[in-house]
Amino acid sequence: MTRTLVCRIALAGTTLVAGLALGACGDSAGDHGGMADMGAAAAPGGSASATSNEADAAFTGHMIVHHQQAVEMADLAASRAGNAEVKTLAAQIKAAQSPEIAAMTGWLSAWGQPTSAAGMDMGHDTMPGVMTDDDMKKLEAMSGKEFDKEFLQMMIAHHEGAIEMAKEETAGGVSADAKALAQQIGTSQQAEIDSMKQLLSSL
């Protein structure tokens, strides 16, 4: 992966984190707590619960769990990856997705929806691109170049699943916040997929 590609990913992640941080700063008086600086057009004075539907709640709840697994995979890379670029990419994925998890949890709370995996009643088998427990144990047992290849292959599939979920939200959701995030996921994670494929081919 070239220095330019690494920088592009880092820049995209920085922009996303900034947008989420600003969007999550709605006050307790009912401001629309979303991604105001990422193109979300909330109605003045409207609440998050007034501009969401079942598709938004399903997308947000599933994406939280999906992101949590990506962060778990990224954490494994910190100590097991042998390639410095794989470690850098994993750190960037965690830096981008951790604040997204926090923002989405806030949306679910504002919408009056469960915010725990148990409360949302969803398992990994209901989401595209997620790894099984056996997949995660297999990855955890690896290190060095073997880990690098498996991590990249798994994360590519994971990102592809997230993009599929994002497309469903774009088509069926009504929340400006959730739809803006879905669009951002489609753009940023496709860029990461392209970079990961290039890096994988060089290992």
Look at residue 175 and tell me if it is in a domain: yes
pLDDT at 47: 44
Question: Could you give phi then psi for residue 79, rounded to 5 degrees?
Answer: -110, -15
22 falls within a domain: no
- C-alpha atoms less than 13 angstroms from C-alpha of 55 in its C-beta half-sphere: 17
| pTM reported for the whole predicted model | 0.74
DSSP 39: T
Residue 2 makes CB contacts below 8 A (sequence gap 6+) with none
Look at residue 33 in the predicted model and tell me its pLDDT. 34
Q: Is residue 183 part of a domain?
A: yes
In a domain, 42, yes or no: no
Q: What is the pLDDT of residue 125?
A: 54
Tokens standing for residue 191: 């860029």
CATH code for the domain in which residue 115 is found? 1.20.1260.10
Which pLDDT score is estimated for 42? 33
pLDDT by residue, tens only, the chain of 203 residues = 444 433 444 444 434 434 443 344 343 333 333 333 333 333 323 344 458 999 999 999 999 999 999 999 999 999 999 999 999 999 999 999 999 999 999 999 999 998 865 545 555 456 899 999 999 999 999 999 999 999 999 999 999 999 999 999 999 999 999 999 999 999 999 999 999 999 999 99
134 assigned to some structural domain: yes
Within-domain flag for 168: yes
Question: CA–CA separation, 169 vs 92, rounded Å?
Answer: 24
Q: Closest Cα partner for 156 from 133, 137, 184, 128?
A: 128
- Which structural domain range is residue 89 located in? 56-202
Residue located via tokens 């984190």: 17
For 80, residues 6+ apart whose C-beta sits below 8 A from its C-beta are 140, 142, 143, 144, 147, 151
| Within a domain: 176 | yes
Structural domains counted in the chain: 1
Residue 135 is predicted with a pLDDT of: 96
